[in-house]
Amino acid sequence: MAEISLPGMNTSLLIIGANGYVGAKLYVDLKEHYPTTGTYHHTPLFPELIHLDITNPKEIHDVCTKHMPTVIIHVANHANPRWCEAHPEETKLVNEMATAWLVEEANNIHAKFIYISGMVARLNNNNYALSKSASNKIVASTADDYVILEPHTVIGLSPNETNDRMMNRFLKNFDAGVAADYDTSWHFQPTYLHHISQVIAEIVKQDIRNDSIPVLTSDLKTRYDLAHDIFGPLGLVTRPAALETDRPPTTETTDKLKKYHMPIYTYAQMVNAIQSELKTRT
């Protein structure tokens, strides 16, 4: 697995949502290199995580002023599009309004604000996408020092194996030895989870400011490709099936990653790296 660059002096991180699928991996990767505090909302995945409900502006203020991080990484959102469709008010509160409160506190303590957005924000086709797009606008127009990261569907081993994310569904079938149908119709450029940690380390090291960075591989792949290529050699039986038909393929470049001389993963490198992660899984 590629190394993370060493941090700048006096860097300290606050990861909001260190409990989730993406946040838990960022937390374990980045705390190896930086003094890092992580927050949870419900049950802490790691005992040292501190409680924060981002719908409570006073709690945000108290946590930020107590820990005084130089970088805040915001990775706490409702991330299930179907849930967001059924709960529009909670989605607006957590995914949009809380962003404004977090940015306000980041500005108050002069912290860099790194927002984990997503390529989905460009679609504007459901509550989830709209809330991510609204947060991008809030961050870009009000944060003094920010970077917006735009992953596509994220894949890779996380300490959080229970949240309902694509990788964890693969793992569930793999662990149970269940053969399953995987979609072949929707083509997207997957994002390698550990790559996000590496990109954040570069943002901190280079002190990158006020930009949006797509973080993804350049190859168009399907869910079937991912399940088949990562888990097939390990014994998972994958059946191709055209389950989704109307989602457009992504067409994004890795130009921003190149511009900042950041690590870039080909699809094959990502598959190899995830297979190595799986070998160390306990």
Ligand X SMILES: NC(=O)c1ccc[n+]([C@@H]2O[C@H](COP(=O)([O-])OP(=O)(O)OC[C@H]3O[C@@H](n4cnc5c(N)ncnc54)[C@H](OP(=O)(O)O)[C@@H]3O)[C@@H](O)[C@H]2O)c1
Q: In the complex, which residues of this chain contact ligand X (CB under 6 A)?
A: 17, 19-23, 40-42, 52-55, 75-79, 94, 116, 118, 132, 151, 153-154, 163, 165
Q: CB 175 → ligand X: shortest distance, Å?
A: 18
Which residue, 136 or 238, is less far from ligand X as judged by CB? 136
Instruction: Name the 3-class secondary structure at 112.
Output: strand
What's the min distance (Å) between Cβ of 10 and ligand X? Answer: 26
Cβ-based nearer residue to ligand X, 6 or 137: 137
Which residue's CB atom is positioned nearest to ligand X? 20
**Which residues contact residue 182 at a Cβ distance below 8 angstroms, ignoring those fewer than 6 apart?**
222, 223, 224, 226, 227, 228, 238, 239, 240, 241, 243
Report in angstroms how near the CB of residue 227 gets to ligand X at its nearest: 15
Angle made by CA atoms 244, 249, 255, in degrees to the nearest 5: 150
Shortest spacing between CB 207 and ligand X, in angstroms: 23
* Start-to-end CA span in the chain (Å): 17
91 vs 238 by CB, closer to ligand X: 91
Q: Of the two residues 139 and 261, which places its CB atom closer to ligand X in the complex?
A: 139
Helix (H) or strand (E) holding 155: strand 154-155
Our CA dihedral for 40, 138, 196, 36, rounded to 10 degrees, sits at -40
Closest distance between ligand X and the C-beta of residue 164, in Å? 8
